[in-house]
Amino acid sequence: MNAPSPSVSGFWAARRRESPELPAAVPLAWAFGATPEHADALLDLVLAGIKDGTASSLWDHESSGEPLPEVGELSVVLDGAGDPRAVLETTEIRIVPFDEVDADHARAEGEGDRTLAYWRASHERYWREHSEDERGWAPDMPVCERFRLLWPTASRGRRPRS
C-alpha cells in the first residue's frame, strides 16, 4: 500500500487533534466512483446524510489486490480533486450476489430515486464501464458495505458543496 499523501496525513493529524481516540495510523484514503464528477456527487450524498451504503465488486478487489473492507475500519474519503473531505467507519460488510441485493441497500446508497430498479441499472452500467476486472459485470459479484460518517459531524455544518 502506498504511503498517504501529505494532504491526507495533515487531514488525519487534524482529525486526531479533535478526537485523540482515533488511531495514529492514517487510514486508507479513497474516492467514490470512477470520475472526479462521480466522486464529488457521491461524497455530497454522504455529507448530506443521504448515503450510508456503497457496493464494490469482489472481482475488482481480487484484480487490484485491494483488501476487502472490514467492519470497524476507518477510511478517509477524497473528493474529485483528491482532497480529503470525510472520515467513514465501516459498520457492515455483506458479500451478496448482484441479483440478491435488496431494496434496503439500494436506499442506503442514496442514488437516483433510491429504488432497487435504479440501483441495479446504474450499478450494472457502472461495472460494465469501469470494472478493474476483465469480467466486468455479472449477476453474482458485489460486496455491499454500510458505513457511518464520523467527520464532519452535523455540528460542524455538514453540507454538500455547491
User: For all residues of the chain together, what is the average pLDDT?
Assistant: 89
- Answer positive or negative: Cα dihedral of 13, 15, 18, 22: negative
| 161 in a structural domain | no
> Could you tell me the CA-to-CA distances from 13 to 22, 73, 75, 139, 148 in Å, in that order?
10, 17, 14, 41, 20
| 122 in a structural domain | yes
pLDDT at 105 (0 to 100): 96
CB atoms within 10 A of CB 149: 19
Range of the domain at 93: 6-152
pTM for this structure? 0.88
Q: pLDDT (tens digit, 9 = 90+) per residue, 32-76?
A: 999 999 999 999 999 999 999 999 887 777 888 888 899 999 999
pLDDT at 63 (0 to 100): 82
Residues in CB range of 153: below 8 A, 6 or more apart: none
Q: Considering its fold, how many domains does the chain have in total?
A: 1
Q: Residue range 89-110: average pLDDT?
A: 94
Q: pLDDT (tens digit, 9 = 90+) per residue, 111-125?
A: 999 999 999 999 999
In the DSSP assignment, the letter for residue 155 is G
| 1 in a structural domain | no
